């Protein structure tokens, strides 16, 4: 499985590079090759992820060599794409792409952190309210059951 995932990462990188190379000369704007760039980053991420995971035999020369060479190949391909994109769309285009991607990743991480904090706070408020009301798990279950029965009774009365 580890080898298959590493091969998938390399395949994504190579496919992205081939796609960019074939479309770069005719592309009118970066959007025409953006999906290839996205695949390039996905493949590179998979390769790095595989490199950080322990393989079945992390000390074998084969594992170490494969992980190292795949990472180097991905770096070479990223550098080649940087050069192609900067040549076609102007110096600094690749750096702008990298900076914007990093900014968006950071914003997403901050958003997720905020959502976890909100969820944690709501849970703490619920627990506190339950304690104040003297409701344990059994009390909460009974309370919910009463609400469900009441709603069912109301619905039954309304439908008649």
Sequence-ordered alpha helix ranges (H) in 24-92: 34-52, 61-89
Other C-beta atoms lying within 10 Å of the C-beta of residue 37: 18
* Residues in CB range of 53: below 8 A, 6 or more apart: 2
- pLDDT per position as a tens digit, 6-62: 567 888 888 888 888 888 888 877 778 888 899 899 888 888 887 777 556 667 777
pLDDT-derived band of residue 1, with 50, 70 and 90 as boundaries? very low
Domain ranges of the chain: 2-135
pLDDT of residue 58: 66
What secondary structure letter does DSSP report for 124? H
């Amino acid at each position: 499985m580890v080898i298959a995932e590493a091969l998938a990462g390399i395949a994504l990188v190579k496919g992205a590079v081939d796609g960019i190379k074939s479309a770069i000369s005719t592309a009118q704007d970066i959007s025409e090759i953006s999906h290839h760039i996205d695949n390039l980053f996905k493949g590179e991420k998979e390769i790095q992820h595989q490199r950080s995971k322990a393989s079945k035999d992390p000390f074998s020369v084969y594992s170490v060599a494969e992980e190292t060479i795949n990472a180097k190949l991905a770096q070479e391909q990223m550098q080649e794409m940087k050069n192609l994109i900067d040549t076609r769309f102007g110096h600094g285009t690749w750096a702008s792409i990298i900076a914007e991607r990093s900014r968006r990743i950071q914003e997403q991480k901050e958003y997720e952190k905020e959502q976890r904090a909100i969820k944690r706070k709501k849970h703490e408020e619920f627990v506190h309210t339950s304690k104040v009301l003297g409701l344990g798990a059994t009390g909460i279950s009974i309370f919910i059951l009463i609400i469900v029965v009441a709603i069912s009774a109301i619905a039954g009365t309304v439908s008649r």
